[in-house]
Amino acid sequence: MKRRNFLKNTAFTTAGSLLIPQFLKAYEQKHLGQKPLNDKILVIIQLSGGNDGLNTVVPFRNDIYYRERPSISINQNNILRLNDEIGLNPALEKIKELYDNGLVSIVNNVGYPNPDRSHFRSMDIWQTGSGSEDYLSTGWIGRYLDAQCIGHSCLPHQALEIDDTLSLALKGQQVNGLSLQNPEKLYKQTQSAFVKTLDNTPAADTHENVGYLYKTLAETISSADYVHSKAKVNKSRLLYPTTELGKSLNTIAELITAGVSTSVYYVSLSGFDTHIRQNDQQDRLLRQYSEAVNVFVNDMKSNSRLDDVMILTFSEFGRRVKQNASNGTDHGTANNVFLIGGPKRTKPIVSEAPDLTDLDNGDLKYKIDFREIYATLLDDWLHTDSGNILNKKFSKLALF
């Protein structure tokens, strides 16, 4: 097949739309079912749109909070109190259950120098693990894959995103993760009539770009076949919410308990850009998050996998302290991060409540660089050298 015809007929927005020519069959079989990169699993949940941290972890003892938010602040009587100063939004009742069992760490005041209030730019910064002055084409998880796979080939399923497109976070220089909405759908995409035609077509064009594309497809199809076969092994006995996040975490749980050799899973929950009528929208989304995560954690516990599975939850930025005229909040800066699961721990809150008396033009000042959290997870959870991944050594937090 000529290169121009190959490129014309190939769709690259989703992986797994083609099978591979016969000369790559040996490659496929050689790499099928690789061992996991380590014995720990990281599940990343991205709250897209800029979740309002002050109405998530509420400083209910602070009069400034109620003064600046007269109509959207959370009533003290409804707050799920964590200590004498802060508590959780009542929509996070199921997260509070996990917190009371020593399975939740909350890191407040997380951000980075010279913050950017653009959704796209700030998300790029978080996903690449870079400074606001840097523009990188690889993500922090992608570079983790690159580093772990030096000297041997890795398949894309070492990092899976439960979506139909792959985020920058999972794109490396040599290795990319794999995006799929569910294993069955991805597998069926590899069984099309065009795929079968290509499978029996000689690779007449040896241009290196075509060779790279064939190799990428070979890796993708190997992963699709492997994940699909493993996904049928173990169905969850727990009832997950029927929300998109609930379905995604159900898929992740079944892959973990089936023993799929994936080290990092990535999933998003969108809708947190609450410029107008914030409370109803945020409460609904936080409840979806809380209920789905609670079932997932209990699923991991019932399958004796919880000690090996950690959930990182972040959003690209927080919101401004003062509410706007539309009963919402506008783009802000520092925010809170949740770490859920893994072994029980005795330090559930890693940093103090936000200081509302010391603001940066109406925004919270960050005290913990988000890359300190990444460095901690890379070094102490995923067992790799964070300095190589983040291009700089960062202080670590006492999370575990």
pLDDT range class, residue 6, cuts 50, 70, 90: very low
- pLDDT of 234: 76
What is the enclosing helix (H) or strand (E) of 63? Answer: helix 63-68
Domain boundaries, the chain: 3-390
Contact between 108 and 57 (Cβ < 8 Å): yes
Q: How many whole angstroms separate alpha carbon 369 and alpha carbon 115?
A: 11
Work out the average pLDDT over 11-25: 41
Whole-prediction pTM: 0.88
Please name which of 300, 305, 306 lies closest in space to residue 238, comparing C-alpha atoms: 300
Q: What is the pLDDT of residues 315-335, one digit of tens each?
A: 999 999 999 999 999 999 999
Q: What percent of the chain has pLDDT over 90?
A: 68
pLDDT at 39: 87
The correct answer on CATH 3.40.50.300 for the domain covering 3-390 is: no
Q: Which two tokens stand for residue 33?
A: 């079912």
Arithmetic mean of pLDDT, 254-264: 92
Summarised one tens digit per residue, pLDDT across range 181-196 is: 877 666 666 666 555 5
Report the C-alpha gap between 361 and 117 in whole angstroms.
Answer: 13
pLDDT at 150: 74
The pLDDT tens digits of the residues spanning 41-58 come to 999 999 999 999 999 999
| Long-range pairs for 243-250: beta carbons < 8 A, 24 or more residues apart | 243/288, 243/291, 243/292, 244/269, 245/45, 245/269, 245/288, 245/289, 245/292, 246/288, 246/291, 246/292, 246/295, 247/182, 248/162, 248/292, 249/43, 249/292, 249/293, 249/295, 249/296, 250/295, 250/296
What's the pLDDT at 211?
55
Q: Mean of the per-residue pLDDT values for the chain?
A: 86
Task: Report the pLDDT value the prediction gives residue 348, as an integer from 0 to 100.
Answer: 87
Of 193-197, 214-218, 257-261, 294-298, the range with the lowest mean pLDDT is: 193-197
What is the structure's pLDDT at 30? 47
Residue 93 has pLDDT above 70, yes or no: yes
The pLDDT of residue 226 is above 50: yes
Average pLDDT over residues 27-31: 46
pLDDT-derived band of residue 11, with 50, 70 and 90 as boundaries?
Answer: very low
Residues 58-74, mean pLDDT to the nearest whole number: 98
Mean pLDDT of all residues in 192-204: 54
